[in-house]
Amino acid sequence: MSYKLYYWDGLQGRGEFVRLALEEAGAAYVDVSRGPETGGLGTGAMLDMLHSKTIPYAPFAPPFLEDGELIISHVANILMYLAPKLGLAPQQEASRFIANGLQLSITDIVSEVHDTHHPIAASDYYENQKDAAKARSADFIGERMPKFMGYFESVLTRNPHGDRYIIGSTLTYVDLSLFQLIEGLRYAFPRATKHFSKRYPALTALHDMVRMRPNIARYLASERRIPFNQSGIFRHYPELDQDVR
């Protein structure tokens, strides 16, 4: 049976972190909202799940994954469940909790990226909070992004198995998520990340390694990979970007 992934049609967003793991593993999955309504798919099918009055523990928001009778929500939770099945988890149980902690840190910075363009209200238009967004973005670029990326660079370079992977000696889902994070930051803040490779050489090498993996390369070149756009989490507003010395 195929996994069923539920996320908003037309967006990479948080769902992309799950898609990358499924694509790397060559797993069979259905991107429900992107499917035809005539086949019981589409955004309506996702909304029916969210608004269900009969599903026990219905998810609060996408993304969520359906595997048989099990419904799992939240990116880090989904990936912690999927990774052992897809061969993308550390072998040791203790290391799996470390991987989950790293993924939760990625979740944190992704939330902060969202708040650079919607710092006051997620339900209001960007244009109505532009001044606050400029202040929030300046702090993110100057303080928060370096703090997070410096942390990931440090963890990567201190890996006892070498700095090819973030944890252990084989690829895990956290490496895939770091690739997506870097891709998103470069799209949203091209000026601020102009010298990313010099500041974070190990992370840059990890990003480039993931990009060249056969299944990932095919996915990135396919129509399944939704382009970044101004409706997702990573958005490029030139007025929010700035050079970093």
- What does the alpha-carbon distance between residue 18 and residue 30 come to, in Å, rounded to a whole number? 12
Instruction: Give CA angle at 101 (96, 107), nearest 5°.
Output: 125
Contact call for residues 102 and 174 (beta carbons, < 8 A):
yes
> For residue 92, how many other CB atoms are within 10 A of its CB?
11
Structural domain boundaries in the chain: 3-86, 93-213+233-240
Among 6, 61, 62, 64, which residue's Cα sits nearest to residue 30?
A: 6
Give, as one character, the DSSP assignment of residue 58. -
Contact call for residues 154 and 204 (beta carbons, < 8 A):
no
Q: Before 36, cis peptide (omega within 30)?
A: no
Q: Which fold, 3-86?
A: Glutaredoxin (3.40.30)
Q: What integer pLDDT is reported at residue 155 of this predicted model?
A: 98
CA separation (Å) from 183 to 102, 176, 179, 207?
18, 11, 6, 8
Per CATH, 3-86 and 93-213+233-240 having the same topology is answered no
Give, as one character, the DSSP assignment of residue 238. G
Q: What integer pLDDT is reported at residue 245 of this predicted model?
A: 74
Two tokens at 176?
Answer: 């895939």
- What does the alpha-carbon distance between residue 193 and residue 208 come to, in Å, rounded to a whole number? 15
CATH class for the region spanning 93-213+233-240: mainly alpha
Question: Mean pLDDT in runs of 10 for the chain (245 residues)?
Answer: 95 98 98 92 96 94 96 98 98 96 98 98 96 98 98 97 96 98 98 97 98 98 97 97 89
